[in-house]
Amino acid sequence: MINKPVYQLIDEEYQVRRFQGNDPIISPSFPKLNITAQQVFDAANAELIN
């Protein structure tokens, strides 16, 4: 299973959070974002194929 880190700057220090599969992506910058890690990976793979 694909597992990708996302880094977020908190109190002058980067914190890592890993997303995989059907984990919802939680973004403080985009709080209404409703997408899973798998949807992002699928879209990236489709872009590579085309």
Residue 49 reports pLDDT greater than 80: no
Where along the chain do its domains lie?
3-49
For 10-41, write each residue's pLDDT tens digit.
899 999 988 888 889 888 888 898 999 889 88
**8 A C-beta contact, residue 20 and residue 10:** no
pLDDT of residue 48: 73
Closest CA to 17 of 4, 30, 1, 32: 4
Residue 5 reports pLDDT greater than 70: yes
Residue 50 reports pLDDT greater than 70: no
Residue 8 reports pLDDT greater than 80: yes
Which residue has 């980067």 as its token pair? 14
pLDDT of residue 25: 85
Beta strands in the chain, from DSSP E residues, in sequence order: 3-10, 13-20
